[in-house]
Amino acid sequence: MILHHRFDGPEDAPVLVLGPSLGTGTELWRPQMAALTERFRVLRYDLPGHGGSPSPERGFTIEDLAGALVDILDARGIRRAAYAGVSLGGAVGTALALRAPERLGALVLICTSPRFGGPEGWHERAALVRREGTAPLAETAAGRWFTPGFDGAEPYVAMLRATGPEGYAACCDALALFDATARLPEITAPTLVIAGADDPATPPEGHADRLADGIPGARLLVIDGAAHLAGAERPGPVTDAIIAHLDQTWKDPAG
């Protein structure tokens, strides 16, 4: 699997991988980039059929996406990295922590879950997108991703409109299969879980709290005034929390 990706920041800095949510891309992290690239060599990637990544030729799992990231790290000779991911990108981080724990120095899981509900809803969404594209979802995305008072939704909704239907649908199929609940106690990376207080998709109760309770030593931070894309809506608190967590826990940042 080939994932479009890019590096930013000093070449000799420790590597931080940033994972996007379903329907977004590398630009999801723009509000954090100025601060993060002062300290880290930042690796951002696009999901299949999103941004610059090609549409998938076959189905895949969340674990396959984690494996594709390991391939990117191997190709660059990066032994160890930190990871922060939003929603589906957070699930990839969870899978990476389980698949290759020796490669992960610290983990930040943002507005995500160990299980994103039952598979039926995801398969129905995949069928809708394969039939009609992402336009029907884009019409209601702002209400799912942001609180009513947020006026900066359009650039993020535009990413969803531009997403290839098959890539989006295949990601839905992968989310339908994902359930890391029973394996959370195996995660050894120091973990921060960040939730949006008003997130309708992965609310703190039943999603973020399950991650924080299941992963040994994990901390939970709930961001007020934020919904599902908390890093876009409340960039300051989210960025500060990521940096503080990495400063406090990442003991071996050498890549």
Question: Phi, psi at residue 177, to the nearest 5°?
Answer: -90, -15
Give, in words, the CATH class of 5-249: alpha beta
For the chain, the structural domain boundaries read 5-249
pLDDT, average across residues 17-41: 97
Going by C-beta distance under 8 Å and a sequence separation of 6 or more, which residues neighbour residue 73? 15, 17, 79, 81, 103
> Tens digits of per-residue pLDDT, 50-78?
999 999 999 999 999 999 999 999 999 99
E strand or H helix that includes residue 137:
helix 135-145
CA distance 120 to 112: 19
Q: Is the confidence at residue 118, as pLDDT, over 90?
A: yes
CA distance 255 to 248: 18
The average confidence (pLDDT) of the chain is 96
Angstrom distances, CA of residue 208 to CA of 75, 76, 109: 33, 32, 9
